[in-house]
Amino acid sequence: MRERFDKIVRSRIFRIVIALAVSIALWIYVEFAVNEDVRQTLRDIPVEFVNAELVSDRQLIITDYGSPVVSAVFDGSRSVVTKLKPSSVRAVVDLSQLRETGSRAMQYELVYDEKIDVRGLTVSGFSGNGYVQLHIEKYVSKTIDFDYVYLRDIAAEDYAAGRVEFETPSVTVSGPESVVGGIISALVEIERENLKETVASVKYPFKLLDNFGSAVELTPLVTLSADGVYLTIPISMERQIPLEPVLIYGAGATPDNIEVTVTPKSVRLSGDTDLLGKLNSIKLGAIDLTSFDTEFDGVLPIIVPDALRNISGETEALVTVRFKKDADIAVRDFEVSTKKIILLNETPGYATDITTPSLTIRLRGPANRLALISEDDIELSVDLKSLGETASQVSLRVGVSVPAWETEIGAVGSYELAVKPLRSSG
């Protein structure tokens, strides 16, 4: 019996029957188990836009489209449905019909990977009923000028920071009108300390501000022509420089017996470090102390060297010169005859006609010394060198001198005398 069973198992007919039975079993499994209809919900299907370049061409931009993924319910054979993955399906939205701003529902179409056999595959449900909600705005560009602010005093003592120089004066901001339209300035905040020399071509970040001075929050849809700006911070020396009139002493006026008031006393200058560092004062115009009796008030120009800048702004100074109260300076007039006038540099062959008999000469000096002077102590002179052979009457300046020992006394004011050259006879 055992031998007969072994013979049947080893027979060719038995093997064929077994193979046929296995094939029938596999067919039944595939037909009723593997290929049975099933339903599956697929989530996280990515949304994809086509013809987006047309939206850009029309100066529009999509600022919101809800969720970047959708879901769908699929019915079909198990062998096909189970192969569906989010990476093998796309929800494609055609943007070619977008022409206006606002909110709009756009239908999407499911597009499958080439490996997916879509025959017998049906979609029984979509998220959003097959639509995505879009919000469309105008796409605008705006040029914003750079501005800056020093967050603290950045220069060292006796130095000053000048106006910042931007290598590019502005930045271009592009994006949705709702964001870009509210930007009015691009602010660079500068925070340095104790600078003594110019900082050149340094890159700084900037903030975009709205009308209220608040920073504008930028979305990924906003683009900038630059993420920073190169700038130069000029640093120059800055000092308070005294103003000093140039005083020409004489006629009893000395550094010890006069007082000078200058308003303003000084000006603040900035500029070249070497030049300003060596400058101790600004010289105002010259004041001849023999040009007035006892008091001078005048306005003199403030002339600043070309390489420096007057940041105080004053261009003139009021100068007052007075004798001190205890100086005991007096003024006295003398009527001096012209008969003994000294004629210098007379032209040979000419005589000089002086018709004015005398001049009133005013002297100034210490009162006790001035009381000792008489008209005879005063000497007049006139230089005729400029006349040459002129025959017409001219007015010449008269020199006034007092005895050499009276060093603190002198004439104040200026004097002129009319003279006429006459050709000598014979």
Instruction: Provide the b/e sequence for 304-331 (b: ≥16 CB within 10 Å).
Output: beeebbbebeeeebebebebeeebebbb
Average pLDDT of the residues in 259-285: 92
**Cis omega (within 30 of 0) for bond into 264:** yes
What DSSP line would sit under 115-133, residue for residue?
TS--TT-EEEEEGGGGEEE
CATH code of the domain occupying 139-236: 2.170.120.40
Q: Which of 13-17, 157-161, 263-267 has the highest mean pLDDT?
A: 263-267
**Cα(177)–Cα(92) distance, rounded to whole angstroms?**
26
Topology given in CATH for the domain delimited by 37-136: RNA Polymerase Alpha Subunit; Chain A, domain 2 (2.170.120)
Kindly state the percentage of the chain with pLDDT values over 70. Answer: 91
Question: Average pLDDT, whole number, for the chain?
Answer: 89
Range in 4-8, 256-260, 326-330 with the lowest mean pLDDT: 4-8
**Cα(398)–Cα(390) distance, rounded to whole angstroms?**
19
Average pLDDT of the residues in 332-344: 92
Query: Computed from CA positions of residues 41, 46, 47, 49, in that sequence, does the dihedral angle turn out positive or negative?
Result: negative
pLDDT at 330: 94
Average pLDDT of the residues in 309-318: 94
Confidence of residue 21 (pLDDT cuts 50, 70, 90): low
pLDDT at 237 over 70: yes
Range in 6-10, 50-54, 240-244 with the lowest mean pLDDT: 6-10
Q: How confident is the model over 34-53, as pLDDT tens digits?
A: 567 888 888 999 999 999 99
Q: Which of 115-119, 317-321, 341-345, 386-390 has the highest mean pLDDT?
A: 317-321
pLDDT at 388 over 80: no
CATH code of the domain occupying 238-323: 2.170.120.40
Same fold, 37-136 and 238-323: yes
Phi, psi of 230 (to 5 degrees): -90, 135
Q: Are 252 and 365 in contact (CB under 8 A)?
A: yes
Q: What CATH class has 329-423?
A: mainly beta
Average pLDDT of the residues in 195-222: 94
Phi, psi of 303 (to 5 degrees): -105, 115
Tokens 């054979």 belong to 77
**So where are the chain's domains?**
2-34, 37-136, 139-236, 238-323, 329-423
